[in-house]
Amino acid sequence: MVNQVIGGSMREFILLSLKGSTNGDKFNIEHKTEAGLICRTISNSLWVSQGIRKDTIIHVVLNGAPRPPRTITFSSNHIPHEFPFDETGVSKVIKKALIMGKDLLDDEEKSVMDGVTVSKKSFEALVRERATNLAVYYLHNKGEDIRTIRFPEHVVFVFGDLFGIPKQTEKLLERTCTGRIKLGPYMLFASHCPILVHNELDRVEKGMR
């Protein structure tokens, strides 16, 4: 059995994948760069060595053909210990979610398994929903240094994949987000972002800075 890692605050991530396939039969990490990136980002959000992080949620919004949008949400406090943390295992769960959710109506949500849901909810709607009563930060290379900010106990981090976030959607983020933050001096892979966010917040919680 895998030991769970005790968390100190609730952290949420929202990843927008502009071209992530919404066809369960075609979501394949061997053929699509974005599919592998999505799976790595999920793994890096939810797991550490020998454990599942507590109090962590990641929403992945897939905007690719043929049935966008589809939002798949993983909640670490509810996923089973035997949940596969490797890219292949995570991709199988995503495939299952997309197949189960192919006929969803707008804003309808369906449970895929313990800790995993699929819904037909847009990125914009999800950001607006979370920003209603939570601090939402947009990860951006022109934002404030993450080390200069004191975050609340429950915080949401929004970011895009290798295709970025459309200008029109960025305007929404400017209106609704608490602010923009950067994780360092260089542009990063999306899959690296959750690791660095966790590390910064872990260090603060443990009194290391």
pLDDT score for 8: 58
pLDDT in tens, the chain (209 residues): 333 444 558 999 999 999 999 999 989 888 778 999 999 999 999 999 888 999 999 999 999 999 999 999 999 999 998 898 899 999 999 999 999 999 999 999 999 999 999 999 999 999 999 999 999 999 999 999 999 999 999 999 999 999 999 999 999 999 999 999 999 999 999 999 999 999 999 999 999 97
Q: pTM value?
A: 0.94
pLDDT score for 85: 87
pLDDT score for 3: 38
Q: What is the DSSP string of 140-175?
A: EEEEEEGGG----SEEEEEEE-TT---HHHHHHHHH
∠ CA(27), CA(33), CA(34), 5° rounding? 65
Asked whether the CA dihedral 131, 144, 197, 159 is positive or negative, the reply is positive
CA distance 160 to 15: 5
pLDDT score for 144: 97
CA distance 186 to 142: 10
pLDDT score for 73: 98
The count of other CB atoms within 10 Å of the CB of residue 167 is 7
Fold of 10-205: Alpha/beta knot (3.40.1280)
